[in-house]
Amino acid sequence: MTDLSADNGVILIADDNPQNLEVLSECLDDAGFEVRVAIDGASAIAKAVYQLPDLIILDVMMPGMDGFETCRQLKADPRTQAIPVIFMTALTEPEDKVKGFEVGAVDYITKPFRLPEVVARVKLHLSLSAITKQLQAENNARLQAEQNLRQMVEQQHRQLLEAEHQLMELEIQLSEKNNGHKEFTEIDFSNSLGVEDDSFDEPSWIKVFKKTSDKLKAEIQERKAAQEELSKLKDALELEVAQRTAELQERNEELKKNEAMLQKHMVKLSAAMALKQKTMAELEAANIALKEAEEQLRYDAHHDNLTKLPNRLQFMDALTEAIDRTKTCPDYRYAVLFADLDRFKVINDSLGHLVGDELLKVAAKRLKEIVEPHNGIVARFGGDEFVILLRDLTDFSQAETIAEQLQTLFRQPFHLKEYEVFTGLSIGITFSNNGYQLPSDLLRDADIAMYQAKANGRGCYEVFDPVMQTVAMSRLQLENDLQRAIERNEMQLYYQPIVSLTTGEITGFESLVRWYHSSGQWISPAKFIPIAEETGWIKFIGQWVMEEAFKQTRLWYDLFPERNLVINVNISPLQLNQSGLSDWLSELYNCYHLPRQAIKLEITESSLLGVLNTEGHTLRQLHQSGTKLCIDDFGTGYSSLSRLHELPTDTLKIDRSFVNRMVEDEGGIALVKTIITLARGLSMDIVAEGIETQKQLALLQSLGCDYGQGYLFHKPADSKTATYLLQSWQRDRVIGLSNNFTGVI
C-alpha cells in the first residue's frame, strides 16, 4: 500500500474570502502540502485542468458559480473527475450536505475552521485517493503481465521449433561433409602415378622421377590442406551445434520458469478475482448502508433531533402550501400559533440541560396530543419555541379553543426524573385573513402576539393586532436601553419601610430596584424585570442589588446600632439556583460585618413552585447557614398550601390582592385569617403587602398580623429619604390609626 507523505500532496483551495484563503493556506502549508488558491469557481476549474491537484477544497457560497456547480463541472470532466473534493461551509442544514454528496463531494469542513481537523481530513482523503489509484494501477499491471506472459510463451514455442529445424539442417550438412571426405580419401593413388605424355623420353628416367615426385608432393599437400579444412569445418559445425543445443536448453529452462511464473500469476489472478467478488459484495453492502444513511439524512433534514417533531424546514414548506392554497381558494382558512414555554430558561439553568431536554420532549407529546386530531402540524422552531399550523378551519374561533385546551393541559405539573416542574404556555395567534404572502410575515406576527401574551402575565394567548408590532418595536428598544443601562449604572435602589403592626416601629425595609432612564423618565420594574429575566440580565441586576443592599445596611447599622434592622432583598430564580450562592452571600456578610438576620431574601412563591424538587437543596443550604428567607406574593402560586411545609422559610408575605379583598367581602377576611393561622402553625412571621387604607390596617391588626408595608405608611424612597424616616418616625402613626378603627370586624 502506498504511504502518502504530506510533502507530495498538492491542494487547490477555492474561496472568495481572502481571510479564509490565508488561514487555510498557512495551515496546510505548515503541514507540508503544496497549496494553490482560486477566488471563484471558474478559476478553480481552470487551475485544476492546467495542473491537476491531488485534492480540491471548495467553498459552497461563492459569487457567480457556487461550490455545488463547480464540483458538478469538475466531476463531468474526465481529466478532473477522480480528484477528491471537500466542501467548506457555514451551512449546517442536513439537506445542504446531502446536496454536496450528490454532486460528488467526499466530505465537509464546517466553518469556523478547526485547523487540526482540516489537516486530518485532508490527509485522510489524500490517503484514500492514493490507495484507490494504487489499486487501479495494480489491477492494470496484473492484466498487462498476464498478456505479456502469454505472448512470451508463444514466442518461446516458436523459437524452439525454429531451433530444432536448424539443428536438423546442421546434422544433414555434417553427414554430407563426412561422406564427401570419405570419397576424397579413397581416390586411387596408383592412378596418380600413370603418365600419358607423348613427349616422355623413356631414357630420361631421372626427369620422369622428379616430375612424378613433385606431382605426388603437391597432391599430398592438397590432401593435407583439404583434411585440415574439413576438420575445421567439422569442429566449427560441432561447436555451433553445441552452442545451439545449450541455447535451446537455456531457453527451455526459461520457458519452464515462465510457465511456473505464469501459473503463479494465474493463482494470484484467481485470488484477485475472489477478492474482487468479495469487494463487490462489500460495495453492495456499503451501497445499501449509504442509501439508508441518505434516507436518515433526509429524515434528519426535516425533523428535530430531540423531539422528533417536524423542524423549521418542513413547517415552512407546509405553511407555503397553505398560503398558495388561499390564492386559488380565497375562502380557505388556516391559523398559525407561536408557542413558548414559560420559565424554561429558569428550569434549564437551574435543573440542568438533561431535565430541560426531557421537558421539551414531554411538551412536544402534549402539543401533538391536542393538535394532531385537528389536522394540525406541530414543529419545533428552536429552543423552547414551537409553531403550530391549523389547517382547514371552518371558523377562526377554533384556533382560540385549541389554544385554551393547550394552556389547560400545560398547567398540569411535569414529572421529570425526581423533579416536579410547573410551567405554562404563552401563545400568539395570527389568521390567514390578514392577506399574508410570505411565511416569514406570518411567523413574525405570531411571534409578536406571543410576546404580547408574555407581557400580559404569561400562561395566556393573544391574537395578533397590527398595534402589537409597534409595541414589539418599543420592547426591542427597551431591551437595548436596558443593556446600556446596566453598563452605565442607571439603576437605583429604593426602600419601602416594613412596620410592626404591634409596636408601630419601622423594623426594616424592602429594597426595590428602580431604573432612571437616560431620557429622564422612570421605567417601571413591571416593564424591565420580565425582559431582564428572559435575557438573563437579571443575574447582573440581582448581583448589583444585593451588593448595594449590603452596603446601605452597613451604613444604617452604624447610624442606628440599637434598631437591628432587617432589609429584604428580592432574589430571582436564576440567582437562587446559581452555583456558589451561599458562599457568595457568606463573603458579603463577612465583608460588611453584618449578622445573618440583617438580610432576608425574598423569593416569589410561583418561582419556587416552578423548580422545587423534593430536597430543596439550595433553600436548605441557605437556611442552615443562618440566612433568613421570605416567600413573597403568597397565595398566588396555586398549590402552595399543600407544599408550604416543604419550604424552609421564616416569613410569609400576604399578596396585596388578598389585602384589597378584605374590605370588599367577608370571604377575603376569612382567607387572610386562614393564611395567618397556617403561618402561625409553621412558626412563620406574617407581612401584609399593599396596605393603603386605615381600615385595612385595623383589620390586619385585629387578625394578629405581625408586620405590614404599603403606601399608608410610606411609598418606596431613596436611601436618603429612608434614613430620614428612621430618624423622624413616630410609632403613634400606626398605633393611633388602628385605635380609630377599633371594632371594625
Q: Where are the domains of the chain?
A: 6-113, 160-191+201-302, 312-464, 479-739
Which among 89, 138, 133 has a CA at the least distance from the CA of 113?
A: 89
Mean of pLDDT over the chain: 81
Nearest-Å Rg of the Cα atoms of the chain is: 52
Q: Enter the CATH code of domain 6-113.
A: 3.40.50.2300
Average pLDDT for residues 400-414, to the nearest whole number? Answer: 93
Name residues whose C-beta falls within 8 Å of residue 27's C-beta, 6 or more positions apart in sequence.
Answer: 113, 115, 118, 119
pLDDT band of 1, cuts 50, 70, 90: very low
Average pLDDT for residues 570-583, to the nearest whole number? Answer: 81
Q: In which region does residue 688 sit, left (phi positive, over 0), alpha (psi from -120 to 50) or beta (all else)?
A: beta
The topology under which CATH files domain 479-739 is TIM Barrel (3.20.20)
Average pLDDT for residues 553-558, to the nearest whole number? Answer: 96
How far is residue 449's CA from residue 428's CA, in Å, rounded to a whole number? Answer: 4
How far is residue 188's CA from residue 198's CA, in Å, rounded to a whole number? Answer: 23
Q: Scanning the structure block, which residue is given the C-alpha cell 463531468?
A: 76
* Long-range contacts of residues 295-299, Cβ cutoff 8 Å, at least 24 apart: 297/94, 297/95, 297/97, 297/98, 298/94, 298/95, 298/98
φ, ψ of residue 456 in degrees (nearest 5):
-85, 10
pLDDT for residue 616 is more than 80: no
Q: What is the pLDDT of residue 667?
A: 78
Q: What is the pLDDT of residue 632?
A: 85
Q: Do β-strands 335-341 and 425-431 pair in parallel, antiparallel, or remain unpaired?
A: antiparallel
Question: How does pLDDT run across 455-494, given as a tens digit for each residue?
Answer: 777 788 989 887 766 666 677 777 788 878 877 888 899 9
Question: How does pLDDT run across 680-691, given as a tens digit for each residue?
Answer: 888 899 999 999
pLDDT band of 300, cuts 50, 70, 90: confident
C-alpha cell at 467: 398595534
Specify whether the CB–CB gap between 427 and 406 falls below 8 A.
yes
pLDDT band of 609, cuts 50, 70, 90: low
C-alpha cell at 223: 590432401
User: Between 246 and 703, where is the model more confident?
Assistant: 703
Specify whether the CB–CB gap between 729 and 498 falls below 8 A.
no
Q: Scanning the structure block, which residue is given the C-alpha cell 593413388?
A: 189
Q: What is the pLDDT of residue 183?
A: 53
φ, ψ of residue 462 in degrees (nearest 5):
-135, 140
Q: Do β-strands 491-500 and 707-708 pair in parallel, antiparallel, or remain unpaired?
A: antiparallel
For the stretch 138-164, what's the b/e string if a residue is b when 16 or more beta carbons lie within 10 angstroms of its beta carbon? eeeeeeeeeeebeebeeebeeeeeebe
- DSSP-derived letter for residue 396 is T
What is the edge-to-edge ordering of all strands in the sheet holding 376-382?
376-382, 385-390, 335-341, 425-431, 461-463
Least confident of 67-76, 205-214, 222-231: 205-214
Specify whether the CB–CB gap between 545 and 604 falls below 8 A.
no
For the stretch 322-353, what's the b/e string if a residue is b when 16 or more beta carbons lie within 10 angstroms of its beta carbon? bbeebeeeeebbbbbbbbbbbbbbbbbbbbee
Could you name the CATH architecture of 312-464?
Answer: 2-Layer Sandwich (3.30)
As a whole-number percent, the residues of the chain with pLDDT over 70 amount to 79
pLDDT for residue 735 is more than 60: yes
Q: What is the separation, in whole angstroms, between the first and last Cα of the chain? A: 100
pLDDT for residue 227 is more than 70: no
How far is residue 295's CA from residue 290's CA, in Å, rounded to a whole number? Answer: 9
Question: How does pLDDT run across 241-254, given as a tens digit for each residue?
Answer: 777 777 767 776 77
Q: Scanning the structure block, which residue is given the C-alpha cell 408575605?
A: 653
Selection from 107-121, 416-430, 642-656 with the highest mean pLDDT: 416-430
Specify whether the CB–CB gap between 399 and 337 falls below 8 A.
yes
How far is residue 307's CA from residue 339's CA, in Å, rounded to a whole number? Answer: 15
Please tell me the pTM assigned to this model. 0.47
- DSSP-derived letter for residue 31 is T
pLDDT for residue 192 is more than 50: no
Specify whether the CB–CB gap between 497 and 707 falls below 8 A.
no
Secondary structure class of 599 (helix, strand, coil): strand
Q: What is the pLDDT of residue 688?
A: 94
